[in-house]
Structure 1
Amino acid sequence: MPKNQTNAAWDTLLDLDAQPAGPLHDRLRRALRSAIVGGRIAAGSALPPSRTLAADLGCSRWVVTEAYAQLAAEGYLEARTGSATRVRPGVTGPATGTRPGFGDPPARPVPQPARLGPPFAHPRFDFTPGLPDLRAFPRKRWADAVREAGRQSPFTDLGYLEHAGHPHLRETLAGYLTRSRGAAIAAEDLTICAGTTDGLARIARGLREHGHTHLAVEDPGWTWTREAVVDAGLVAVPIGVDGDGLRVDLLRDQPWIRAAIVAPAHQFPTGTVLAPARRAELIRWAHDVDGILLEEDKDADYRYDRRPVAAIQGMAPSRTALLGSVSKTLSPALRIGWFATPPRWTSDVAVANPLGLPPSVLDQLAFAWFLDDGGYDRHLRACRRRYRARRDVLVGELACRLPGARVSGAAAGLHLLLHLDGVRATEVVAAAARDGVSVDAVGNYASEAGAGDSTLILGYGNLADSAVAEGVSRLADAIDRTKMWNVRG
């Protein structure tokens, strides 16, 4: 490797034949990512111009630009107008390796501390999915809750408590979920954990100890979901989603699957709400195979066209584990989540996770106080009004600036889909990032390369109201530039 960082990546060996079978641009992407993660291409190194690398590899320029665009969308590269494409600081070296999901590393790298600094963590125009409005976190009310929890708690609460969580929060939360989500939960079957992914990993370990080998996951779906499944020692099996939700017929085609993860209230990223007939079909499948459903309830509190849909768990409590958290209602920084298991699974999951620890006792008691006081309900009502108004403005701006694009999945949750025509979403993601616009592509969450290639995910939970119009304007400009660049290229 030359010492000069200006051209440090130009002479790096890229063995495309050693990569798994697939399209040439995908094999190039994997080879470049492996070189970056392994440290063979140093941070700050400039990659060869697309024409130069294409000539060296004997391929079309499109193959190189597509690989570069995908790596930029995943956070490995940064590209600026008039400058070379470079490796971003903080993503090189063995410590930043990724874990396998569907036989390939996840679509985006595991976040590292070096990636959290400006301008990447706080883009001016934040269409990142999965975040609530962090500006709206009820700081004073939460501070009051923490103070009350500390003042009222007996000294015995400051010692070691059971791994399932504080009894008071479990009792309070079980009542809340029964009332607000139509669940059927007993406090003794409810476990407090560090978030939905943590709860999923614990249940998956319990399934593995009970003889399960496979766990069905929605496709497309959250990268972290399938990572948690794989880390627990199970095979993550992608099952397609259509307009009615998870396809149960595909589950029945694979008799070795007896457990499935589903997000019926608002599937990520498609935004699909599981249809009533599909709900009944899914429950019948679980009974027929003596299986279990893992219901993710993340976006259930945000429904804008009608009242929130009740949880499946209330319809089939003996076959459904319900998982939730405050990550999309308050803040992911609190690290408070929960899962309710069917009674026959509660002890098995606990035994399979002897080191599983709940969040801070004071935070648990603060959340219980917040629930008891009615502050959580008031906060959610205010959030629903805020998000609905913001969504309406966003949809209006998209219709004005991008009249040829179609919007879907906007009836619930904190994101919507923007279906483009004549442009690849990953290229738009890279182009928009140069203008301070953070947006994502559906293809990053699919099991097969090329799926959802023309669809963007626009999260609006953490998007400032004042930034909607200009954010859409800059996104539209990025789309136009990408189309023009493709025509010229």
Structure 2
Amino acid sequence: MTESWVNSAERLGSDLHLDLARPGSRRAVLTGALREAVRDGRLAPGTRLPSYRSLAADLGLARNTVADAYAELVAEGWLIARQGSGTRVAPRTEPVPPPQVPKAAAPRPAPPAHDLQQGQPDASSFPRSAWLAAARRAFAAAPNEAFGPGDPRGRPELRRALTEYLARARGVRTSPDRIVVCSGFAHALRLIFGGRVLHGPLAVESYGLAFHRAILAAASVRTVPLALDADGARTAELAGLTGVRAALLTPAHQFPTGGPLHPERRVTALDWARTRGGVILEDDYDGEFRYDREPVGAVQGLDPDRVVYIGSVSKSLSPALRLGWMVLPEHLVPAVLDAKGRREAWAGVTDQLTLADFIASGHYDRHVRRMRQRYRARRDRLVAALTARAPHITPTGIAAGLHAVLRLPPGTERSTVEAAAERSIALDGLADFRHPDATMPVQDGLVVGYAAPPNHGYAQAVEALCRILPPAPGEH
């Protein structure tokens, strides 16, 4: 007798895999397989089993064989049979022991008591009701072909909605046929450089995500750091870089140090790209969350043919959605689609349709405005606490975004990060973001995210942070 699958509509439950490839009579093998399924928890208490006739037909057994197996398990207390409700797994007085974890598997670390890591939005604020309503409207209006093989460009509904929104909110100049949907900024990097749409070396800012540098290194792209100051990347340095024809910048809010790229430096970068026949990759990091300044438009709007604009909903809505977009110069669209492949394998159509409706209905604008107010209040609370408790610590980069950089006394960053870890506070040191080849002076600091903690835990997180900050020089 071979392994068989139980799949009966009368079960009113999930498929059950029974291993019947054992020696013995058919009744004994079936009884043992069912008993084992109950014992190890695969058949939970209350689960309704198939009727004698249904299970017998599925397994190729006589009906009496199944009836006798059920009767035996009822007598032993494994099953219960009641008139009109069929045969079900009996309740257990003792919980089913959890499956044994292999000894080689490392336990997952406990979550931090206070999560102040950068780049994370407030997960509890995801607009569930509005998103669900958008999904219902989008699914009702979607054509049948939307649920067939995907288009590597992304759904036209979303590309149209993004065209209107990005023009209105970010000053981006494009059309739907120049937008390619992806799963986020990292995916865009993999497509552009892993797919050999662009080639290295690539100019980058001296501070940025090591994760992004690792993606580029995996694509054999050498990165060359540009120095930073209060006005952003020193784009005049581009002219002196031999062989470099592409630069990655965060103009709206430099990550992680903060601050927008100065207008003159934007023009310098674009002039360099035109002269060199190069491309600017614009990471619109935190472009929607500004607090104390006028909105800073996208560099892409100044020259759509020399800028690849990349955005996502990872900060504005949720990183779990895995939705982003590239606004491309027209001449790069075919190469990006070739790199992506003919079938959409990264961003689900259902989420694309929902996001399109969410944007077009105005819910996205309302959500961003609401979160902008909430994050500003959190930022103000952090700044007020620092002013009162640690006035020698200067927060910078706080005019926009979801994090602040706390400038520390020289030589104190490492010990402060270690003190945070000892007290279960998750945050990053500024050194973690420094390019290994950067030549600009080293500055000690903490990168503190203020968006992730839940509302009820934010005050405690700020208090815990203040307790581990180093004293002012000369104090003890």
Is the pair's TM-score, using the shorter chain for normalization, greater than 0.5?
Answer: yes
More off after superposition, 291-300 vs 466-475: 466-475
Cα distance, 1:480 vs structure 2: 4.4
Cα distance, 1:463 vs structure 2: 2.5
1:73 paired residue number:
none
1:139 paired residue number:
128
Paired residue secondary structure (1:329):
coil
**AA partner of residue 335 (structure 2):** D
Aligned partners of 1:205 and 1:353 also within 8 Å: no
Distance 1:391 1:179 in 2: 26
**AA partner of residue 454 (structure 1):** D
Aligned partners of 1:415 and 1:461 also within 8 Å: yes
Distance 1:193 1:435 in 2: 38
Distance 2:284 2:334 in 1: 22
Aligned partners of 1:165 and 1:358 also within 8 Å: no
Cα distance, 1:422 vs structure 2: 4.7
Aligned partners of 1:239 and 1:247 also within 8 Å: yes
Instruction: Give the counterpart of 1:231 among 218, 222, 227.
Output: 218
Distance 2:473 2:424 in 1: 19
Distance 1:422 1:220 in 2: 18
Instruction: Give the counterpart of 1:327 among 295, 310, 314.
Output: 314
CA displacement 1:215-247 (0-9 Å, x = unmatched): 111111111221222223321222222211111
Structure-to-structure mapping, 1:71-470, within 5 angstroms: 117=108, 119-120=110-111, 123-206=112-195, 208-209=196-197, 212-354=199-341, 357-448=345-436, 452=442, 454-470=444-460
**AA partner of residue 289 (structure 1):** R
Structure-to-structure mapping, 1:44-55, within 5 angstroms: none
Aligned partners of 1:299 and 1:412 also within 8 Å: yes
Aligned partners of 1:183 and 1:314 also within 8 Å: yes
Cα distance, 1:148 vs structure 2: 2.4
Distance 2:410 2:166 in 1: 45
Aligned partners of 1:130 and 1:459 also within 8 Å: yes
C-alpha spacing 1:209/1:439, structure 2 compared with 1 (3 Å): closer
2:466 paired residue number:
476
CA displacement 1:34-92 (0-9 Å, x = unmatched): xxxxxxxxxxxxxxxxxxxxxxxxxxxxxxxxxxxxxxxxxxxxxxxxxxxxxxxxxxx
Distance 2:106 2:358 in 1: 34
Cα distance, 1:413 vs structure 2: 0.5
Cα distance, 1:470 vs structure 2: 2.9
Paired residue secondary structure (2:225):
strand
TM-score norm. by structure 2 comes to: 0.73
C-alpha spacing 1:449/1:124, structure 2 compared with 1 (3 Å): farther
C-alpha spacing 1:449/1:481, structure 2 compared with 1 (3 Å): farther
More off after superposition, 351-360 vs 431-440: 351-360
Distance 2:446 2:437 in 1: 15
Cα distance, 1:251 vs structure 2: 1.6
Paired residue secondary structure (2:227):
strand
Aligned partners of 1:219 and 1:239 also within 8 Å: yes
**AA partner of residue 159 (structure 1):** G
C-alpha spacing 1:468/1:161, structure 2 compared with 1 (3 Å): closer
CA RMSD of aligned residues (A): 2.6
TM-score norm. by structure 1 comes to: 0.71
Cα distance, 1:358 vs structure 2: 3.9
Distance 2:372 2:177 in 1: 31
Aligned partners of 1:302 and 1:413 also within 8 Å: yes
**AA partner of residue 378 (structure 2):** R
Which blocks of at least 5 consecutive residues in structure 1 are unaligned?
1-92, 94-112
Cα distance, 1:423 vs structure 2: 4.3
Paired residue secondary structure (1:274):
coil
Paired residue secondary structure (2:340):
coil
Aligned partners of 1:214 and 1:237 also within 8 Å: yes
Structure-to-structure mapping, 1:62-73, within 5 angstroms: none
**AA partner of residue 121 (structure 2):** P
Cα distance, 1:482 vs structure 2: 12
Paired residue secondary structure (2:255):
coil
Task: Report percent identity of matched pairs.
Answer: 38
Aligned partners of 2:115 and 2:426 also within 8 Å: yes
Cα distance, 1:126 vs structure 2: 1.6
C-alpha spacing 1:157/1:114, structure 2 compared with 1 (3 Å): farther
C-alpha spacing 1:306/1:114, structure 2 compared with 1 (3 Å): farther
Distance 2:127 2:452 in 1: 15
Aligned partners of 1:264 and 1:295 also within 8 Å: yes
